[in-house]
Amino acid sequence: MAKLNGKTALVTGSGRGIGKAIAQKLAADGARVVVNDLDSAPAQETVASITQAGGQATACVGSVVDTDFPERFVGTAVDTYGGIDIIVNNAGYTWDSVVQKMTDEQWDAILDVHLKAPFRILRAAQPVLASAAKRERETGSVRCRKVVNISSMAGTGGNPGQANYSAAKAGMIGLTKTLAKEWGRYNVTVNTVAFGLIRTRLTEATADTGGSIELEGRTIKVGVNPELMATMERSIPLGRGGTPEEAAGAVYLFCIPESDYISGQTLLCGGGFVV
């Protein structure tokens, strides 16, 4: 039997890249997934890929930083599937600059998407998780629920040009450790996966040749210069960047019953690279 049968998972930023791989991984093991993306088309593509493979998924489209998003996201899970078992806070992007050139807009945008949005989603989910835990205590059918927050090795060791991103991802680890202590009484485990170099559209395009994404009216340069990418990969003991599917595997470890007694931890998923 699939380990996640009957469980409902919410995954932000799951229309593309790592988030899509996470959604597909959880669905393949039986979870019903609420897929989120800023844009409808990629969200619906992920939903279609899951349903075509025999799984269950629905979409909640919108920006995680919107004021009404947390309640809509949580409400979609409750209204469609009856509750929440897994929350993966994955959505995000980078907007890099050295600190003396970084604007307040850059700082605020990255802190909002990587730290404030997950905080607000988890705050919105708390009444649902608390009520479920109370009901289950009364009936004697205790169920372990899971939160997996996505951080980065930039958050554990810093990274030049990423003061905003590194600060946000370090904050995510602090948020995780605090909620692990607050939510243990609800039988909810809260853990972090900190990714190293994972090959996605944000790393494959090269900023030097005009790689960029359009995001909420902003044009954000993305990508890693090929020579720098090669240097980075040589520093990784496994000799390469990871795939979105491998990143999803690390998240999956915190979602299955075998990790029910692990909470407040940060798992480095970086091919052996340590900062």
Residue 146, token pair as written in the block = 């899971």
Quick one: angle between helices 17-28 and 40-52, nearest 10? Answer: 30
Cross-strand partners of 212: 221
Given 165, 186, 252, 261, the catalytic residue: 165
For 127-154, give one letter per residue: b (16+ CB within 10 A) or e.
Answer: ebbeebbeeeeeeeeebebbbbbbbbbb
CB under 8 Å to 261, separation ≥6 — which residues?
A: 189
CA distance 196 to 212: 21
Q: Find where tokens 């340069």 sit.
A: 221
Contact yes or no for 150/193 (Cβ under 8 A): yes
186 is catalytic: no
d(CA 140, CA 15): 37
Show which residues are catalytic.
Answer: 165
